[in-house]
Amino acid sequence: MSTEYEFLTEKNVGTYIASRPELQARIDGARLAEVREIGDGNLNVVFHVTDADGRSMILKQSLPYVRMTGEGWPMTPDRARREAESLVAHGAIRADLVVEVIGYDHDRYVLALEDLSDHRVWRGALNDGEYHDGVAAQLGEYVAGVAVGTSVLGMDRGDVAEAMARSQNAELCVITEDLVFTEPVFDIGRNSVLPANEPDAAALAGDAVFASAMSEAKWRFMTHAEALIHGDLHTGSVMVRGSGEAGDAADSVKVFDSEFAFYGPIAFDLGALFANYAFAAARARALGEDERAAWALGLIDQTWQGFADTDLALSERWLERDLFNRDFAERRVAEILREAALFASAKMARRIVGAAKVADIETLDPELRAPAARAVLSAARALAARWDSVAGVRDIRDTLDAQILG
Ligand code: SR1
Ligand code: MG
């Protein structure tokens, strides 16, 4: 794979579009009115492009390194293909919940996507105090669709084997294995916390129960090839549209940014969502918005219910024609919940002590940030201590309520 390819710039993007018929059919590269670089993620460059007729699209290009750190951290640009292919696979299952892929360029690692400028990133909306009812439940449905639709539950056995081979994503999985599971316990120099949180980070790193849980989580992440998971399903990987007022449902929800996709444990996506709801709750609590903090933790129940109901309903079709019966399906769902608690613990800890953080906590003033970070770390440790005995979503809620709502 070549790492010598031309990067998109505000200047050359028009010529690039004009050279790609599938893009030129949707926007006129020769008559661009506006080009803006809007990337705010850790890895890629992203352009928002509008032509003279007001037609627009998003072009996302992978660089051969991690944008967050620069050329010192090389990274395969082929990650853009994993994103393109997983978005297409997920869109085939739930087109209503996944951003549309307009095209993918294998030579320059450019992914063209529908413009969702009338949406906003859910994390930003949450941080601004918006609600967007129904998003959490729909994300649970999306995860269930993927759990069944890309696994042996919903696909031909041979097709699953081929999909697994195509979706190997070792380099990005290693990022997750290092940043999410290993480094919260063993700092290799990338971790950081506020001085006030240094004792909390040290307590986390010295917690043998947490370390043991992280070894279990990492093993499962590396070996449980269940379905083509999103792989980075935080609230920054979801766009929402709607008034955002309390009581108003979002009128559109779109998942994007799935470059970490691979055949992995489906609970990893659920755990990521649960952890991000915990960040939203810790932020609200820090700001003295206790009712909102409780609401944010309630999103866990909504995502879980959306997942469990849909997963069991989708599995019904498959139960009829195979050995696996309803008892098995229910046992599987119960195990996914336990595992989601385990992964949520990892995800909570990594965003507080690890290299890649979240705006929910980082944009708080330091005197509010330190206690919020401490509460999230306490919640991570409490979940790590009991994930294996979680018997219902209530157990997860009780644990997080106690640590975050106080
Ligand atoms: C170097 S990439 C850091 C993080 O950004 C992505 O959103 C993933 O969560 C990854 O761990
Ligand atoms: Mg991302």
What is the CATH number for 26? 3.30.200.20
3-state SS, residue 328: helix
Same domain, yes or no: 187 and 242: yes
Q: Is 63 in the pocket of ligand 1 (CB under 6 A)?
A: no
Q: Is 179 in the pocket of ligand 1 (CB under 6 A)?
A: yes
Instruction: Tell me the pLDDT tens digit for each residue of 93-124.
Output: 999 999 999 999 999 999 999 999 999 999 99
Neighbours of 138 (CB within 10 A): 24
pLDDT for residue 21? 97
Q: Whose CA is nearest to atom 2 of ligand 1?
A: 42
Give every CB contact of residue 231 below 8 A, 6+ residues apart in sequence. 169, 172, 173, 176, 258, 259, 260, 261, 262, 264, 268, 269
Of ligand 1's listed atoms, the one at least distance from the Cα of 73 is: 1
pTM of the model: 0.97
Instruction: Tell me the pLDDT tens digit for each residue of 121-134.
Output: 999 999 999 999 99
Question: CA separation (Å) from 46 to 8, 76, 106?
Answer: 9, 17, 17
Same domain, yes or no: 39 and 129: no
| Higher-pLDDT residue of 310, 315 | 310
Closest ligand to C-alpha of residue 178 is 1
3-state SS, residue 196: helix
Domain final position from 95, 113, 131: 113
Q: Is 42 in the pocket of ligand 1 (CB under 6 A)?
A: yes
Q: Is 68 in the pocket of ligand 1 (CB under 6 A)?
A: yes
Q: Whose CA is nearest to atom 11 of ligand 1?
A: 176
Q: Whose CA is nearest to atom 4 of ligand 1?
A: 356
Same domain, yes or no: 78 and 143: no
Same domain, yes or no: 252 and 334: yes
Question: Which of 392, 344, 359 lies closest to 128, judged by CA?
Answer: 359
Question: CA separation (Å) from 355 to 45, 145, 385?
Answer: 20, 31, 24
Rounded distance, CA 388 to CA 391, Å? 9
Q: Whose CA is nearest to atom 9 of ligand 1?
A: 232
Neighbours of 53 (CB within 10 A): 10
Instruction: Tell me the pLDDT tens digit for each residue of 164-214.
Output: 999 999 999 999 999 999 999 999 999 999 999 999 999 999 999 999 999
Question: 125 CA distance to ligand 2 centroid (A)?
Answer: 17
Domain extent for 58: 13-113
**Any domain includes 324:** yes
Q: Is 75 in the pocket of ligand 1 (CB under 6 A)?
A: no
Rounded distance, CA 362 to CA 383, Å? 22
Closest ligand to C-alpha of residue 259 is 2
Same domain, yes or no: 267 and 183: yes
**Any domain includes 6:** no
Closest ligand to C-alpha of residue 42 is 1
Of ligand 1's listed atoms, the one at least distance from the Cα of 179 is: 11
ipTM for this model: 0.97
Closest ligand to C-alpha of residue 258 is 2
Question: 403 CA distance to ligand 2 centroid (A)?
Answer: 28
Neighbours of 40 (CB within 10 A): 11
Same domain, yes or no: 131 and 47: no
